[in-house]
Amino acid sequence: MNPMVVNAFPVGIVHVINSGNVESEGDLRMEPSVGLEFNSSDEALSSRRFVCSKEGFQLNSRTGCPAFIRVQRRDSGKWVIDQIQKDHNHELGLEGENNSPVLQQKPPVAPKSLVEVLRRPKVKLLGQIENGGSSPSGIINFKRQKRGGDGRQPLPEPYTGLEFNTANEAYEYYQSYAESVGFRVRIGQLFRSKNDGSITSRRFVCSKEGFQHPSRVGCGAFMRIKKKDSGSWMVDRLNKDHNHDLGEQTVYVNKFSTASKKFIEEETNGMVSMDLGEMNTGKLIKRSRESKIGTDWYPVLLEYFQTRQAEDTGFFYSVEVDNGSCRSVFWADGRSRYSCSQFGDVVILDTSYRKSNHVVPFATFVGVNHHKQPVLLGSALIANESKECFTWLFQTWFKAMSCCRPKSIIADQDMAIQQAITEVFPGAHHRFSSWQIRAKERENLRSMPIEFRYEYEKCIYESQTTVEFNTTWNSLVNKYNLKGNAWLQQMYDKRESWVPLYLRGKFFAGIPIGETVESFFGTQVNGQTPLREFIPRYEQGLEQCREDERKEDFNSFNLQSFSQTKEAIEEQCRRLYTFTIFKIFQDELLQSYSYIGIKTYEEGTICRYLVKRSGNENDKHAVTFSAVNLSVNCSCQMFEFEGVLCRHVLKVFKLLNIRELPSQYILPRWLRNAEYRILCGAESRVSSQELKAFMIWSLRETACKYVECGTTSVEKYKLAYEIMREGGKRLY
């Protein structure tokens, strides 16, 4: 149920803009009331909410006005007001041309339903914005142009090779052509340069393209333009055939439509840090960047931050400020910063608030601990989704985490996020969020044949080599004549960020590919959480997750896993790994008994083995072993992806009589005492800066535990103080 700002009037009531034109029937201002009925209906809707234009805080002109009415559809098909709030928090009266509605009784006429009004098609103008022309707001009847029939110059048909000075000029031309022929245009997909992210080609489609809405019929008409080296744009692909009737159009002309704004933002690489407005001349001006965060959130959050900082010396927060206005907010407590020193090698930026309408743009940085549980590495409210905003966010997180650089980041596919990650974490591998990939696939593959979808999934999930994937993909595209499909081309260009084959060789702590990562707070805290409940829910959810982590820590230190073999390698890992990781290793060890290993190559200290499952010729992998430093790698790349050796390597170790895992194949992050991993030789594999950061947070966390236990009673205080004093003597 999405709020809408509209002017709606009951049946038999008309909106009189100029009360001076009213006849002597007399003015009658009708107050809305619970129970007031309307005849307008829509089978697809069951309820709708209409709010004051000053609702929310997204614009400076808004005041968070709570006034609204909600209408509910009854079984009879009529709509009735079931909720109402008449109180405004601002003055009412004339405001420019927006006069207070005057409701006038009128003889019954054939009413137009609210839904009919809302369904009026829109045209998205760009030329008037770019060229400085004014564009009136309202409904215009745009009759189909008869070529040569009205004395006007006929509009030329588009053709391959037609050139334009700008992309906007091409859009305006295709829009005008569409109006003359009798269809409407939507802004389609675009391609960007791999080098600088600039737009190299873009596509304009018929409004009935796709099947995402009942009114769409999968029309294939489109015009694609490509940028030339000279800077001009040329039509390089074109389809003028529609699969639906063309005819007279009713066009809604908006001064500054959503599509226009979207187009302009894309033209500037989606990195617009200032919102675009329009003066009376029609030319673009810049306004201060809008924030999606309500102004009432800042004082509440800042008070919370100050309280937490007094309790936790490791608490960090930062607020982005632009022209004196608060914007994005980031915070992390001492425990989160300490967790990052242990588990900051893989980071998930969870922006799942974007899946639906949200009250607040709440995002989290999440890692994976040694029990494979999610751990919070920071929280944020994101003002907008520009490159500048995400760059500030990543830089702030980087600073708060003592310059910890993640190896891999799971985040959304948006160009702004991609560019920010490249700038702040140039060596990190960006993996696209699965939920966004799935959403795009549903949108773009819906119109494809079932056979294509089957072969598409087989290509993605069953390809074993890059050569096999590329060959299968190209064959698939050619077979179904999809070379011109912009979305498929875009996904192919970005294959290293989402195709499992390309991700297996990167470390992601075993986070499954193709599965949606659950939100750290679940449903407890999300983009729908209201301000009054946000902090209590946040604290409760965080404490619950940390309590679960403490339970797993206790179990790993005080309980023992069962051995299922008599092998020394199993006993070694049982002592070192946490329960969760040992279970994964133990399963691989047991599975290795079902495999056979055959030496296929040997030269000097290098040996290669073919390891295959008994009775299954398709389940086979190549394992290469070097006796010099006991290094090994397997074509399944489980160790590279998860940090635990696979069944194929364990089979080779058994053949070579290697009874213990080499130290380089025991990742400190998976150990029971991961928080003390410096003692396990980790200092030889990290930079001096990372080592110092880890030591700071490790000692700070230990000291906090002493403080917590030592303040429960006077006796424990004396004991804790004595222990720390005696320990201090050994340091100095």
User: What DSSP state is assigned to residue 155?
Assistant: P
Residue with tokens 């809707």: 45
For residue 45, what pLDDT is reported? 52
Pair 261, 284: CB distance under 8 Å: no
Pair 42, 71: CB distance under 8 Å: no
pTM: 0.60
pLDDT profile of the chain (732 residues), mean per 10: 42 35 41 68 58 68 76 75 81 48 37 33 35 31 36 70 88 88 85 74 88 78 90 90 72 42 45 32 38 84 91 88 86 90 92 75 93 94 91 94 90 92 94 89 87 93 92 94 90 94 93 82 82 91 90 85 90 93 95 94 92 88 92 94 96 93 92 64 53 70 77 88 84 76
For residue 455, what pLDDT is reported? 94
For residue 402, what pLDDT is reported? 81
- The one-letter amino acid at 633: N
CA–CA dist 51, 2 (Å, integer): 10
The maximal CA–CA distance of the chain, rounded, in angstroms, is 107
For residue 59, what pLDDT is reported? 55
CA–CA dist 716, 661 (Å, integer): 42
Could you tell me the CA-to-CA distances from 474 to 71, 203, 456, 464, 723 in Å, in that order?
52, 22, 11, 16, 68
For residue 357, what pLDDT is reported? 66
pLDDT more than 70, % of the chain: 73
For residue 484, what pLDDT is reported? 86
Helix (H, G, I), strand (E, B) or coil at 525: coil
Collect all residues with Cβ–Cβ distance below 8 Å to 475 and sequence separation of at least 6. Answer: none
Closest Cα to residue 7, out of 85, 117, 171? 117
